[in-house]
Amino acid sequence: MNTGWIPLLLALAGPLQAQDMVEGHALYTDYCARCHGDKADGMGPLAASLNPQPSDLTALAAGNEGRFPVARVAARIDGRDPLVAHGSPMPVYGDFFEGQDAVIKAETGQPVFTSQPVVDLIAYLQSLQR
User: What is the distance between the alpha carbons of residues 116 and 55, in angstroms, rounded to a whole number?
Assistant: 23
Domain of 57, in residue numbers: 19-127
Predicted pLDDT at 98: 80
Do the domain assignments include residue 12? no
- For the domain that residue 32 is a member of, what is the CATH number? 1.10.760
The tens digit of pLDDT for each residue in 58-99 reads 999 999 999 999 999 998 888 777 665 545 556 666 677 788
> Is 28 a domain residue?
yes
CA distance 88 to 37: 20
What CA–CA distance (Å, rounded) separates 106 from 79? 17
What's the alpha-carbon Rg for the chain, to the nearest Å? Answer: 15
Looking at per-residue pLDDT, the higher value among 94 and 34 belongs to 34
- How many structural domains comprise the chain? 1
Residue 81 included in any domain: yes
**10 within domain boundaries:** no
Task: Identify whether 23 is part of a domain.
Answer: yes
In a domain, 9, yes or no: no
- Looking at per-residue pLDDT, the higher value among 58 and 1 belongs to 58
Long-range contacts at 31-38 (CB < 8 A, ≥ 24 apart): 31/91, 31/93, 31/96, 32/57, 32/121
Model confidence, pTM: 0.80
Question: In terms of pLDDT, which residue wins out, 102 or 13?
Answer: 102
Is 60 inside a domain boundary?
Answer: yes
Looking at residue 9, its pLDDT comes to 47
Check residue 86 and give its pLDDT. 47
Structure confidence at residue 8 (pLDDT): 45
pLDDT band of 108, cuts 50, 70, 90: very high
Q: Is residue 87 part of a domain?
A: yes
